């Protein structure tokens, strides 16, 4: 954190990262039963800037 200029309070960093949201979308299919897709919500601007500072990239497509 300190090398990225983000201070040294890990608790605050984790609190801010806790705002990141994801969910699983479950789609029923005839062929394989259920199809599960993990979707990550677009973060608010402050969290997006924090992720960028840390060099973390969120996926653009469901996994």
DSSP 8: S
- Cβ(24)–Cβ(36) under 8 Å? yes
Domain membership flag for residue 63: no
**Tokens 């996926």 sit at which residue?**
59
Residue 38: per-residue pLDDT: 86
Residue 61: per-residue pLDDT: 67
Query: pLDDT (tens digit, 9 = 90+) per residue, 19-53?
Result: 999 899 999 999 888 988 888 888 999 999 999 98
User: b/e per residue, 1-15, with b = 16+ CB within 10 A?
Assistant: eeeeeeeeeeeeeee
Q: Which domain holds residue 48?
A: 2-54
- pLDDT at residue 5 tops 90: no
Domains of the chain: total: 1
Residue-level length of the chain: 63
Domain membership flag for residue 59: no
Domain membership flag for residue 27: yes
Domain membership flag for residue 61: no
**pLDDT tier for residue 63 given thresholds of 50, 70 and 90:** low
């Amino acid at each position: 954190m300190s090398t990225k200029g983000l201070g040294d309070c890990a608790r605050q960093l984790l609190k801010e990262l806790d705002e990141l949201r994801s969910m699983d979308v479950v789609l029923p299919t005839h062929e394989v039963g259920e199809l599960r897709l993990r979707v990550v919500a677009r973060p608010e601007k402050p969290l997006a800037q924090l992720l960028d500072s840390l060099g973390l990239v969120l996926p653009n497509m469901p996994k």
